[in-house]
Amino acid sequence: MKRKKPLFFAIFFLGFNTIFAQQTKKDSILSFSLKSAQDYALENNPLVKNANLDLESAKKKIWETTAIGLPQVNSKLAYSYQITIPDLEKQLSGLTNLGGWMYGVDQYLYTTSGSPNFGHITAPDPNQKAASENELRWGLTYDITASEIIFNGAYLVGLQTSKIYKQLSELGITKSQYDITEQVANAYYLVLIAQENKSIIDSTYSNTEKIFNYIKSMNEQGLLEETDVDQMQLTLSTIKNTLDMLTRQVEVAKNLLKFQMGIELNQNIALTDNLTSLVESSDLVMLATKDFKVENNNDYKLMETQEKLSGLNLKLQKSSLLPDIAVFYTHEENFNKNSFSFTPPNLIGLSMNIPLFGSGMKLSKINQAKIGLEKAKNSKQQVSLGLQTSFFDAKSSFITALNKYQTNKQNVKLAEKIYNKNIVKYKEGITGGMELTQSQNQYLQAQSNYYTSIIELTTAKSKLEKMLK
């Protein structure tokens, strides 16, 4: 029983530390401006991390392809055991006058070198002891081979292709960064809008509650009808439901922002930028006048890269008509000097593989590659036209959203002014509860339209800026 106590305390201590760590993370608050939130996402978002890993993989692929054309060295160790000894007398009976020596099986068994040397056959040594059958049965050889490509068309094209794939990975990183930057900006705006909208509704609820208490007090004194109390209570309940909904929307928007940034959902965050200053910080009118250069667009660059890959594929198919040239050197070491082998210990050579006739198969592949290149060019042209159309659409949507934002911004001020005047008139008994409720609803609707226009403006702005990058 005593042995279980240390284990129990260890488990308790571990569990306590885990709970404490989670609570500490929950209590700590990370503050972000829009720029710092985007920078954080570019370092921690999994999509950007994977894009960076793709680039590292592409760099390794370049070296892998390059190494194919560099010297290659391989070695092999082989052991063999002959169950049946061949009849060497018959096999060697036809070998005569090699290097000026009459040669037979007895000469082979007694030779000092242990294997024939066709450049010079050594004379048999009469004092050399004959090899036994067991000594002839086993063989152990070790050889090492070095090779080098002199010319190979597929290798040269593959080297160019690996570099293009590296460029493709770099474009992938850029595209991921643009996408994440845009997504973080939109999520950041959503949080600010939800927070500010909640703050205004909270203030409206507080003012309406004061009016409700005032009306209720006047009703108890017999100065107002009960219908006015019921009407105001209905308005108060509606505002309370809206306030609760916005409270949940703030949490949902924050979770979306955390997800885009690569932050754990139980981590508390605070946003330091102001909504109005963010929206109006850049010259919105100037943004609408910028020109669009399709060749600078990331999607167009991707299509250009695809065209280059199609061109390299055509080169690859054409290279199949060219010969392959390689040089090699082989050294073999035979550890059983009594075994029979015709392989020379050192060998150097040059090989050339020349394609002669393939029944038109390679020409067919070349023609298919030409068609693929033509299709890539057509796709690039189509993307170019599509991007220009998308730009004009994005520009038009941005200008419309900007005008709508400016109009709704003025409408909020007017609706708030009308609402505040009606509150004063209502307290003075000049207007009734119905007029006050209508002006209040008008004010809340103006607020809703204003924040909707902000969402539309920021979304259109992010889309237009992304196309202009």
User: How many of the other CB atoms lie within 10 Å of CB of 37?
Assistant: 27
Q: Which residues touch 272 (CB under 8 Å, ≥6 apart)?
A: 31, 32, 33
| pLDDT tens, position by position, 57-99 | 988 988 888 888 889 999 999 888 888 776 655 555 554 444 4
The verdict on residue 283 lying in a domain is yes
Per-residue confidence at 129, pLDDT binned at 50, 70, 90? low
Q: Are residues 261 and 395 in the same domain?
A: yes
Per-residue confidence at 232, pLDDT binned at 50, 70, 90? confident
Q: Are residues 293 and 334 in the same domain?
A: no
Q: Are residues 139 and 258 in the same domain?
A: no
Find the mean pLDDT for residues 330-354. Answer: 83
Percent of the chain residues topping a pLDDT of 90:
41
- CA distances in angstroms from 380 to 219, 306, 386, listed in the order given: 75, 9, 10
Helix residue ranges, H only, 262-297: 275-281, 284-287
Identify whether the C-beta of residue 379 lies closer than 8 Å to the C-beta of residue 303: yes
Q: Are residues 196 and 218 in the same domain?
A: yes
Identify whether the C-beta of residue 118 lies closer than 8 Å to the C-beta of residue 99: yes
Could you give the CA distance from residue 65 to residue 319 in angstroms, rounded to a whole number?
Answer: 17
User: How many of the other CB atoms lie within 10 Å of CB of 240?
Assistant: 14
The verdict on residue 121 lying in a domain is yes
The verdict on residue 245 lying in a domain is yes
| pLDDT tens, position by position, 261-296 | 999 999 999 999 988 888 877 678 888 888 899 999
User: Could you tell me the CATH number of the domain that includes residue 305?
Assistant: 1.20.1600.10
The pLDDT, as a whole number, for residue 1 is 45
Instruction: Please tell me the total count of domains within the chain.
Output: 2
Residue 90: domain span: 78-150+326-353
**Angle at alpha carbon of residue 299, lines to 297 and 303, rounded to 5°:** 115
| pLDDT tens, position by position, 357-367 | 878 888 999 99
User: How many of the other CB atoms lie within 10 Å of CB of 123?
Assistant: 10
Give 405 or 26, the one with higher predicted confidence: 405
Give me the chain's average pLDDT, please: 83
Residue with tokens 């991921």: 176
Q: Is the pLDDT of residue 399 over 90?
A: yes
Say how many Å lie between the first and final Cα of the chain, rounded: 70
* Integer Rg of the chain from CA: 42
Could you give the CA distance from residue 235 to residue 227 in angstroms, rounded to a whole number?
Answer: 12
Q: Is the pLDDT of residue 181 over 60?
A: yes
Q: Are residues 206 and 130 in the same domain?
A: no
The pLDDT, as a whole number, for residue 103 is 41
Q: Are residues 250 and 392 in the same domain?
A: yes
User: How many of the other CB atoms lie within 10 Å of CB of 23?
Assistant: 11
Q: Are residues 273 and 187 in the same domain?
A: yes
